[in-house]
């Protein structure tokens, strides 16, 4: 996916490259888009544990 396909508040799943596009892979994580810049989509994963969003490449994210 590309940057312009995301907006703040979107629910997404992060699919790392080693998961080969498989959203059922154990390494995938669900999160919420908190901001977007010219290169990254910032996603907050597991709000109960983390309070900091992580920069993600848009091609590793899918909308949920």
User: Are the C-beta atoms of 21 and 15 separated by less than 8 Å?
Assistant: yes
- Residue written as token pair 């629910």: 11
pLDDT for the residue 49? 73
Q: What is the mean predicted confidence (pLDDT) over 49-58? A: 88
pLDDT for the residue 7? 97
- What span, in angstroms and rounded, lies between the C-alpha atoms of 45 and 35? 13
Domain definitions of the chain by residue range: 3-63
**Considering the domain 3-63, what is its CATH architecture?**
Roll (2.30)
User: Are the C-beta atoms of 1 and 15 separated by less than 8 Å?
Assistant: no
9-51 per-position pLDDT tens digit: 999 999 999 999 999 999 999 999 999 999 999 999 986 676 7
pTM for the whole structure: 0.90
pLDDT for the residue 61? 98
> Is residue 5 classed as helix, strand or coil in its secondary structure?
helix
């Amino acid at each position: 996916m590309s940057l312009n396909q995301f907006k703040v508040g979107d629910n997404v799943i992060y699919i790392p490259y080693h998961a080969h596009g498989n959203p059922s892979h154990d390494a995938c994580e669900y999160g919420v888009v908190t901001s977007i810049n010219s290169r990254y989509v910032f996603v907050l994963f597991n709000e109960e544990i983390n309070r900091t969003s992580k920069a993600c490449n848009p091609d590793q994210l899918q909308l949920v």
